[in-house]
């Protein structure tokens, strides 16, 4: 296993950081590398917003509820952005572009573009001895994040990311067995086989939860998923995205 | 710049591969590493389908129109998958889970989860001397891809990926200047400033297009984007995703 595969394989989310801040040079190295990610038809339909203003950090922390949104070495917000492209056009051309920009296809394209850059950010940062944590909980109040960051139409904040020097060393969290997530030639609908795989995984996870250093618990993955999805959360994300004129058609 | 940052920074999409196929061990190394990507609330809402059957490859190539969907060392299809989670529940629980699973929020979560795994796949593969190319053109006929791969409800094929030993050495394609994609504390709506950045980038790109080894052209990024978005393509992606009962509410 080479060094890079090792870095990818050893990923843990870090939720406690030393106070040392990233330098501008580090941020530019990370984002500059991340930008080289593939992009659908060269659209580069994302904007990353780096948060250095403590007041802004505090506001975002309030939305997320997580201390590490404020206490970190740097904080990024990753936005799907089709506004930049829209701004390239004359008012007449803009009219003609609306049907495409406002489609689900283009919301999907910009979301994937943004996520590819974000994962490059994670791997680049980790290779430099930094830790990272995705902050999906910015979507707890996505309208508020929109206001805090003064986002124009056609821009949606997808998630945040805390980065910094780790001040904890969490255990590596198990993942589903490869046969559960990797199928061959078609989707494997042998649910009896899948059930056995996941039963084994649930057992492995129980052991992990009972033996990990912090925050021991006893539930299985299947239980967690059913409990989580029985409650429909963040249903305001749907009208919010439409209010930004994306995912509308 | 460390080795991993170098790999990320030197990414090029590879569209011509040697005939050598990836070994099962290589595939397992790559997917095993990729799986360690962060996942929203541990949902791991993706399935990767590896294509080894030449008939299936030929069918997917027909959808995409790209030879390298068939001619490569291995081909992956990355699917957003909320079906696995749905299968964990009793019929009664499943009813209660529908509102959440069918929301835009969960379509977004599963799309991001899938893209993070895909980008890890790219970096892991490239660190092993392999090249990769995302295949968004599977969405040229997403209904057909759905049929070819026999996808159940709650599963959407987002994109493919060709992987293999490179048989070409393309130039590195420029990216937008960092100040265009990286803003501080709020979205930068100084469009005069953005315009200057992109004007410079358009000039840089012209030079790149005129001097690159293959496929020289003369248009700017701004022109490409306006031309592309004036035609609304893949509008059938919207009803397709809804037909899989995702992004519905």
Each domain of chain B, given as residue ranges in start order, spans 3-170
A80 contacts on B by Cβ (under 8 Å): none
What share of chain A in percent tops pLDDT 90? 96
What is the predicted pLDDT for the residue at B15?
A: 98
pLDDT digits (tens, 9 = 90+) for B27-39: 999 999 999 999 9
Look at B37 and A111 and tell me if their CB atoms are within 8 Å.
no
Q: At what angle do helices A104-127 and A91-101 cross, to 10 degrees?
A: 80
Look at A181 and B48 and tell me if their CB atoms are within 8 Å.
yes
Task: Compute the 3-state secondary structure of chain A and give helix, strand, coil in percent, each to the nearest 5.
Answer: 50, 15, 35
When the pLDDT of each residue in chain A is averaged and rounded to a whole number, the result is 97
Q: pLDDT band at residue A230, thresholds of 50, 70 and 90?
A: very high
Structure tokens at A54: 């403590």
A4 contacts on B by Cβ (under 8 Å): 3-4, 7, 123-124, 127
> Which SS3 state, helix, strand or coil, does residue A240 take?
helix
* Alpha-carbon distances, residue B106 vs A118, B34, B68, B81 (angstroms): 19, 21, 32, 10
Are B148 and B84 within 8 A, CB to CB? no
B31 contacts on A by Cβ (under 8 Å): 178, 181-182
**DSSP designation for B103:** S
B5 contacts on A by Cβ (under 8 Å): 29, 33, 124, 127-128
When the pLDDT of each residue in chain B is averaged and rounded to a whole number, the result is 97
What is the predicted pLDDT for the residue at B217?
A: 86
What is the predicted pLDDT for the residue at B214?
A: 79
Look at B184 and A52 and tell me if their CB atoms are within 8 Å.
yes
What is the predicted pLDDT for the residue at B216?
A: 83
Look at B43 and A115 and tell me if their CB atoms are within 8 Å.
no
Look at B235 and A4 and tell me if their CB atoms are within 8 Å.
no
Check pLDDT > 80 for residue A18: yes
Structure tokens at B122: 């790219």
- CA A29, CA B54: separation in Å to the nearest integer? 41
Q: Which helix (H) or strand (E) holds B161?
A: strand B155-164
Secondary structure string (H, E, C) spanning A120-162:
HHHHHHHHCCCEEEEEHHHHHHHHHHHHHCCCCCCEEEEEEEE
Tokens 């509410």 belong to B249
The CATH code of domain A3-170+233-243 reads 3.40.109.10
B75 contacts on A by Cβ (under 8 Å): none
B43 contacts on A by Cβ (under 8 Å): 225, 228
By the CB < 8 Å criterion, does A200 face chain B?
A: no
- Count CB pairs under 8 A between chains A and B: 337
- CA A43, CA A88: separation in Å to the nearest integer? 12
Q: What is the mean pLDDT of residues A135-158?
A: 98
Look at B2 and A101 and tell me if their CB atoms are within 8 Å.
no
- CA B7, CA B123: separation in Å to the nearest integer? 7
Cβ-based neighbours of A56, under 8 Å, separated by 6 or more: A148, A149, B185, B186
Cβ-based neighbours of B192, under 8 Å, separated by 6 or more: none
pLDDT digits (tens, 9 = 90+) for B76-101: 999 999 999 999 999 999 999 999 99
Look at B238 and A194 and tell me if their CB atoms are within 8 Å.
no
What is the predicted pLDDT for the residue at A216?
A: 83
What is the predicted pLDDT for the residue at B177?
A: 98
Cα of A184 vs its chain's centroid, Å? 27
Structure tokens at A55: 């007041």
Check pLDDT > 80 for residue A99: yes
Are B47 and B155 within 8 A, CB to CB? yes
- CA A168, CA A16: separation in Å to the nearest integer? 6
Look at A136 and B29 and tell me if their CB atoms are within 8 Å.
no
What is the predicted pLDDT for the residue at A239?
A: 98
User: Best mutation site among A114, A147, A229 for testing chain B: the one with the most B CBs within 10 Å?
Assistant: A229
Q: Does domain B3-170 have CATH number 3.40.109.10?
A: yes
Tokens 């541990």 belong to B42
- Residue ranges of the alpha helices (H) in B35-173? 54-64, 83-86, 91-101, 104-127, 142-148
Enumerate residues 118 to 177 of chain B having a beta carbon within 8 A of any beta carbon in chain A.
118-120, 122-124, 127-128, 132-134, 136, 139, 148-152, 155, 158-159, 172-173, 175-176
| B18-31 core/surface letters (b: 16 or more CB in 10 A; e: else) | eeeebeeebbebbb
Check pLDDT > 90 for residue A237: yes
Structure-derived torsion over alpha carbons of residues B192, B198, B200, B205, reported in degrees to the nearest 10: -170
- Residue ranges of the alpha helices (H) in A149-236? 178-181, 191-211, 221-229
> Which SS3 state, helix, strand or coil, does residue A187 take?
coil
Look at B105 and A49 and tell me if their CB atoms are within 8 Å.
no
Task: Report residues of chain B scoring pLDDT below 50.
Answer: none
What is the predicted pLDDT for the residue at A213?
A: 77
B152 contacts on A by Cβ (under 8 Å): 187, 189
């Amino acid at each position: 296993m080479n060094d890079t595969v090792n870095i990818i394989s050893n990923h843990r989310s870090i939720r406690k950081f030393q106070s040392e801040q990233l330098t501008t040079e580090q941020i530019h190295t990370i984002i500059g590398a991340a930008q080289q990610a593939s992009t659908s038809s060269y659209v580069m339909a994302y904007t990353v917003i780096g948060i250095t203003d403590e007041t802004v950090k505090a506001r975002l922390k309030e939305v997320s509820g997580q201390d590490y949104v404020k206490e970190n070495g740097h904080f990024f917000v990753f936005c799907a952005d089709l506004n930049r492209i829209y701004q390239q056009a004359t008012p007449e051309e803009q009219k003609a572009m609306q049907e495409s920009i406002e489609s689900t296809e283009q919301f999907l394209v910009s979301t994937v573009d943004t996520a590819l850059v974000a994962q490059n950010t994670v791997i680049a940062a980790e290779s430099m001895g930094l830790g990272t944590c995705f902050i999906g909980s910015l979507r707890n109040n996505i309208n508020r994040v929109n206001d805090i960051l003064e986002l124009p139409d056609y821009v949606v904040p997808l998630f945040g990311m805390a980065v910094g020097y780790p001040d904890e060393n969490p255990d590596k969290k198990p993942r589903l067995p490869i046969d559960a997530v990797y199928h061959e030639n078609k989707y494997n609908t042998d649910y009896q086989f899948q059930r056995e795989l996941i039963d084994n995984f649930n057992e492995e996870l129980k052991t992990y939860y009972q033996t990990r250093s912090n925050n021991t618990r006893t539930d299985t993955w299947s239980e967690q998923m059913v409990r989580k999805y029985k409650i429909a959360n963040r249903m305001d994300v749907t009208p919010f995205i439409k209010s930004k004129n994306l995912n509308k058609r």
